[in-house]
Amino acid sequence: MEPKDYSPVKVNLEKDKGYAWCTCSHSNNQPFCDGSHRAKNATPSMGFTVTEDKDAYLCTCKQTKNPPYCDGSHNA
């Protein structure tokens, strides 16, 4: 089994568009939710929007203290 890569994912976020950040790690569409948490009875996604178009690094380790953004927790 290969080790899990918890590196943040750079994404382009669009102003006022709704996003669903995966909080459970089961999604095959990281860092976004694909609904896999339902079958696994895991935590639901976290919805968010941004106030301006921007590039951001979203967390995939799920340990960030600033969800959905990476804060470097995967390096701790």
Q: Tokens representing 10?
A: 């750079």
Model pTM? 0.88
d(CA 42, CA 17): 25
Q: What is the pLDDT of residues 40-70, one digit of tens each?
A: 899 999 999 999 999 999 999 999 999 999 9
What pLDDT score does 2 carry?
A: 46
- Cα separations in angstroms, 12 against 3, 37, 53, 57: 26, 24, 7, 9
Say whether pLDDT at 24 is over 80: yes
Percent of the chain with pLDDT over 90: 84
Rg (CA), the chain: 12
Predicted pLDDT of residue 30: 94
